[in-house]
Copies of this chain bind each other. A is one copy, B any other.
């Protein structure tokens, strides 16, 4: 999760909403990514989507059944849907997303076998987002 936070900070430094994600397989980080929607002009370029795509490329598999995803913010429905298709083993996330989090919808957006742990480094994850939006408002 510390690497996910580092990725989120990178996003913030580039003017992106600070969200970072990593995929871990057998205790090793196999992909890391941060939100790049602005730079790429791509609404699908969330940290999770990029981390999933990279991890699948690394493993040459479209399933991540033995992998865990760490992300600083609760995934949106799009990303939860991607995690469903990837059959991710465990989802760890930091901050809740009370506006666009997948958990506001039907919980079955995730795969039934996926385990979920929330609140990991919640304060650090939230602080990054709060600082980012505070800066936006004052600048």
Contacts and interface: CB of A to CB of B under 8 A. Distances in A.
A52 interface: yes
Interface residues of A, number: 32
B77 A81 contact: yes
A85 B44 contact: yes
Contacts of A61: 41
A105 B78 CA distance: 13
A47 to B, nearest CB: 13
A62 interface: yes
Interface string A31-54: 000000110111111000100110
Interface of A: 37-38, 40-45, 49, 52-53, 56-57, 59-63, 76-82, 84-86, 105-106, 108-109
